[in-house]
Structure 1
Amino acid sequence: MTVSPEPTPYDALGGEAAMRALVDRFYELMDELPEAQPARRLHPQDLGEVRQKLFEYFSGWLGGPPLFETKYGHPRMRARHMPFAIGSAERDAWLLCMKQAFEEVLPAGEVRDAFWRRVLGLADFMRNQD
């Protein structure tokens, strides 16, 4: 009898379709919510490339295909974000959009909660101001 491996968080949350939907909704909210402006102003006008990169990062981070690493190497997220002034206001605006996207797109439960805790830590780690 073959034992099937435990699903990865990526699989449990819905795989590629869910990650694309999450990232798309996140960036829609960043454009829609006035409170998101501290984070939005750090991004280029055309969000196409950053959407793709976040999708690729989340894919590998959650145990799916390591798309980001394959294209760009080790994520080094903090180093990649150092050119941008990211303080508490920018972090909080980013998290506001991400939290709403999580709630709208991802299935509720332990896996989503664990992913959210990781996102909170990541967002705080990106701060390089105040």
Structure 2
Amino acid sequence: MTDIPNGTAQEQTFYEQVGGEETFRRLVHRFYQGVAEDPLLRPMYPEEDLGPAEERLALFLMQYWGGPRTYSDNRGHPRLRMRHAPFIVDRAAHDAWLRHMRVAVDELQLPAEQERQLWDYLAYAAASMVNAEG
């Protein structure tokens, strides 16, 4: 067995640090439980079943944070703004999205540093999707 010199061991990805696929699936499932009951957000999901949207978001977040590249393998480049362009995403939708995501993030009970990293990204992503006044 060969020793690995100090400083060369690969650090864990955020995906691995927070518990991998199971954690991201729990996050996204809880989020979509809120979306399903939200009169503002639910109409933005034209599919009768939220399952496909849930799967896409889970795969995207897993890939973004260092997990498998399944999202890109199946759907290509994320192009988030383009994919959301058909929908009116105003401040009210932004706030509703973050409200449901806040509940989901809190229920994960991540360590403070990982929780902050995840939340900062989600808040940034939500802000970048706004494409309408109001």
Q: Which residue of 2 aligns with 1:30?
A: 35
Q: Distance in 2 between matches of 1:20 and 1:54?
A: 9
Percent of aligned positions that are identical? 35
Q: Which residue of 1 aligns with 2:22?
A: 17
Moved over 4 A (4+): none
Q: CA RMSD in A?
A: 1.2
Q: Which residue of 2 aligns with 1:4?
A: 9
1:39 aligns with 2:41: yes
Contact persistence 1:13–1:106 (CA under 8 A): no
Q: Distance in 2 between matches of 1:69 and 1:41?
A: 26
Q: Distance in 1 between matches of 2:39 and 2:14?
A: 30
Residues 68 and 106 of structure 1: CA distance in aligned 2, closer, same or farther (over 3 Å): farther
Q: Which residue of 2 aligns with 1:101?
A: 104
- Alpha-carbon shift at residue 30 of structure 1 (Å): 1.8
Of stretches 23-32 and 50-59 in structure 1, the one that deviates more from structure 2 is 23-32
Q: Normalized against structure 2, the TM-score is what?
A: 0.89
1:58 aligns with 2:61: yes
Structure 2 unmatched runs, 5+: none
Larger Rg: 2
Q: Distance in 1 between matches of 2:109 and 2:74?
A: 26
Structure 1 unmatched runs, 5+: none
Give aligned pairs, total: 127
Q: Which residue of 1 aligns with 2:94?
A: 91
Q: Normalized against structure 1, the TM-score is what?
A: 0.91
- Alpha-carbon shift at residue 31 of structure 1 (Å): 2.5
Letter in 1 for 2:41: A
Q: Which has the higher helix share?
A: 1
Superimposed CA distance per residue, residues 41-96 of structure 1 (whole angstroms, 9 cap, x where no aligned partner): 21133101100000110011101111111111110000000000100001110100
